[in-house]
Structure 1
Amino acid sequence: MAEKLVVFDLDETLVHATTKKLTINEDFVFDHYYVYVRPYLNELLSQLVTSGFRIGIWSSAGEAYVEYLIKSIVPQEVPLELVWARGRCTRRYNSELDEYVYEKQLRKLKKRGFKLTDIWIVDDTPEKSRTNYGNAITIKEFKGDKNDRELQYLLVYLLTSKHCDNVRHIDKRSWRETILI
Structure 2
Amino acid sequence: MSKNLLLILDLDETLIHASSTKLDTEPDFFYEQYFVYKRPFLDTFFKEISAHFLIGIWSSADDIYVQEIIQKITPENINFEIVWGKNRCSLKRDVDLDQYIFEKRLKKLETKGFKLEQVLIVDDTPEKVKVNYGNAIYINPFRGEKEDKELLDLYRYLLQLKSSLNVRTIEKRYWKQSI
The TM tier, using the shorter chain, reads: over 0.9
Aligned partner of 1:75: which letter? P
TM-score (structure 1 length as normaliser): 0.96
Residue 133 of structure 2: aligned partner: 133
Counterpart CA distance in 2 for 1:158 and 1:4 is 10
User: What are the residue-to-residue correspondences of 1:108-127 with 2, within 5 Å?
Assistant: 108-127=108-127
Structure 2: tracts of 5 or more residues without a match: none
Residue 145 of structure 2: aligned partner: 145
Structure 1: tracts of 5 or more residues without a match: none
User: What are the residue-to-residue correspondences of 1:1-181 with 2, within 5 Å?
Assistant: 3-51=4-52, 53-179=53-179
Counterpart CA distance in 2 for 1:61 and 1:49 is 23
Once the 2 structures are TM-superposed, how far is the Cα of residue 97 of structure 1 from its aligned partner?
1.5
Contact 1:90–1:103 (Cα < 8 Å) also in 2: yes
Counterpart CA distance in 2 for 1:2 and 1:58 is 19
RMSD (CA atoms): 1.0
Give CA deviations for 1:114-167 in whole Å, capped at 9, x if unaligned. 000000000000010011010000000000001100000000111111111110
Aligned partner of 1:165: which letter? L
Aligned residues: 178
Give CA deviations for 1:8-36 in whole Å, capped at 9, x if unaligned. 00000000011011011000110111100
Counterpart CA distance in 1 for 2:169 and 2:177 is 17
Aligned partner of 2:24: which letter? T
Q: Percent of aligned positions with the same letter in both sequences?
A: 47
Instruction: Tell me whether 166-175 or 40-49 shows the greater mean CA deviation.
Output: 40-49
SS in 1 for 2:133: helix
